[in-house]
C-alpha cells in the first residue's frame, strides 16, 4: 500500500471511530434526557396528588398518571423477568455480567 493509501485508510478508520463515538455520546445524552423526563413526570404526579385536595378536577390527571406508572412498572418487571430467564442460558461469563448489570439498571429505575 502506498503512503497516500495508508493515510486515506487511516482517515477513514478515524472518521468511523469518531462517528461511533459521536453516536454513543448522542445515545448517552438521549438516555440522560429520558431519565430527566421520567423524574419530572414523577414529580408532577406527586404535586398533583397534593393539589387534588384543592381542585378535584385534577383527579382525572392523577388517574392517567397512575395508569401510566402502573404500565411502566409492568413493563419493567417483564423485562427483568426476561433478562433473568435469559441469564440461565448464557455460557460466557462476560455475557452473564452484562445481563446482570442490565437487570440492576432496570431495578434501579
Predicted local confidence at residue 80, as pLDDT: 94
| Distance (Å, whole) CA 51 – CA 45 | 10
pLDDT class of 109 with cuts at 50, 70, 90: confident
13-68: pLDDT as tens digits = 555 566 888 888 998 999 899 889 988 988 998 998 899 889 888 899 999 989 98
94-105: pLDDT as tens digits = 988 999 999 998
3-state secondary structure 79-94: HHHHHHHHHCCCCCHH
Amino acid at each position: 500500500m502506498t503512503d497516500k493509501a495508508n493515510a486515506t485508510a487511516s482517515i477513514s478508520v478515524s472518521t468511523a471511530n469518531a462517528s461511533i463515538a459521536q453516536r454513543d455520546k448522542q445515545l448517552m445524552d438521549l438516555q440522560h434526557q429520558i431519565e430527566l423526563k421520567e423524574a419530572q413526570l414523577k414529580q408532577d404526579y406527586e404535586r398533583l396528588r397534593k393539589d387534588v385536595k384543592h381542585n378535584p378536577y385534577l383527579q382525572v390527571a392523577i388517574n392517567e398518571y397512575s395508569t401510566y406508572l402502573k404500565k411502566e412498572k409492568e413493563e419493567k418487571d417483564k423485562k427483568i423477568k426476561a433478562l433473568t430467564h435469559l441469564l440461565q442460558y448464557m455460557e460466557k461469563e462476560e455475557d452473564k455480567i452484562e445481563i446482570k448489570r442490565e437487570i440492576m439498571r432496570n431495578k434501579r429505575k
